[in-house]
Structure 1
Amino acid sequence: MKKIAELKIGEALEDVQLNPVSRLDLIKYAGASGDYNPIHTIDEEAKKAGLPGIIAHGMWTMGNLSKLFTSYYEEGFIQDYSIRFKGMVFLNDVITLKATLEEKMGNQLRFNVLAVNQKGNEVLKGEVLFKTFTGTDITHIF
């Protein structure tokens, strides 16, 4: 596997496909995040809100973006990110995460990131700023 700093502008990280969204995923996320809005876990409440069924927490989808960079955490860290929610994620949706290197600024790499469902519809779009470690960064960690 290529080091993240060796990527060239326009190159992509390996896509990450998530398992189909399950009710249990959303219940666990509600507990971990403290977001107990019932549109994320109870069908009847989602329907009362005008939705066709329960929807995933937007932050659940956003948090999963970090999986794109898991293989590179020995080389650096996500310094910043900004995203825009583009669509809803429903039970059983299969989400694919994508990242393409847009810009290199010293030891900072800016990626365009995207999450799409099994129909190819964008559900999230944004940017991640990944900072690679330098010799001085590593001495501050230890």
Structure 2
Amino acid sequence: MTTTPPAPADLSALTVGQELARSRHEISRDTLVRYAGASGDFNPIHYNDTVATEAGLPGVIAHGMLTMGTAITGLLEAIADPTAVRGYTTRFTHPVPVPATGSVTLDVVAVIGAIDEQARTARVDLTAEVEGTKVLGRARATLALPDAA
């Protein structure tokens, strides 16, 4: 993974439209094997090309939860306090095909979409793409803001 956030984001001084993180994540078949072992998700569409194509997929695809979890890691590093995340939701809009050799790159940008001063939260909109195709839709994290001084 390559992440290029500035110093940890100051959650007390966020603005709508502010970019918090930009990250790149390589996903290979090895990544899928490791995730399957850790999660217990051994669905063959995540490792067997024949089964995947028979299911109507372009080939082996990454686990949805692997994609979702990977997409938020750049934001977590940027805020330096994962306990500030109060929620995280998404829709899976496109499968992430993973080649038999090499890898595919998941590019993620996290931007402040809204700030609720009364609730002391900020909505972070994440854009996750593979080769220019959005793979997550309405990917949003809610961050708790520090109490106003």
* TM-score range normalised by the length of the shorter chain: 0.7 to 0.9
Contact 1:76 1:133 in 2 (8 A): no
- Give TM-score, length-normalised by structure 2: 0.80
Aligned match of 2:129: 116
For residues 76 and 127 of structure 2, the distance between their equivalents in structure 1, rounded to whole angstroms, comes to 13
- Tell me the alpha carbon deviations over residues 34-67 of structure 1, each in whole angstroms, 9 at most, x when there is no partner: 1110000112211221222100011111001221
- Which one has a larger percent strand, Structure 1 or Structure 2? 2
Q: Which amino acid aligns with 1:65?
A: A
Would you say 1:93 and 2:99 are equivalent positions?
no
- Which one has a larger percent helix, Structure 1 or Structure 2? 1
- Give TM-score, length-normalised by structure 1: 0.83
Q: Across the two proteins, how many residue pairs are aligned to each other?
A: 133
Q: Structure 2: where are the runs of 5+ without partners?
A: 1-6
Q: Which amino acid aligns with 2:28?
A: S
The Cα shift of 1:12 comes to 1.1
For residues 10 and 83 of structure 1, the distance between their equivalents in structure 2, rounded to whole angstroms, comes to 19
Would you say 1:70 and 2:82 are equivalent positions?
no
Aligned match of 1:140: none
Aligned match of 1:132: 145
Contact 1:76 1:132 in 2 (8 A): no
CA separation of 1:5 and 1:96: change in aligned 2, threshold 3 A: farther
Aligned match of 2:46: 40
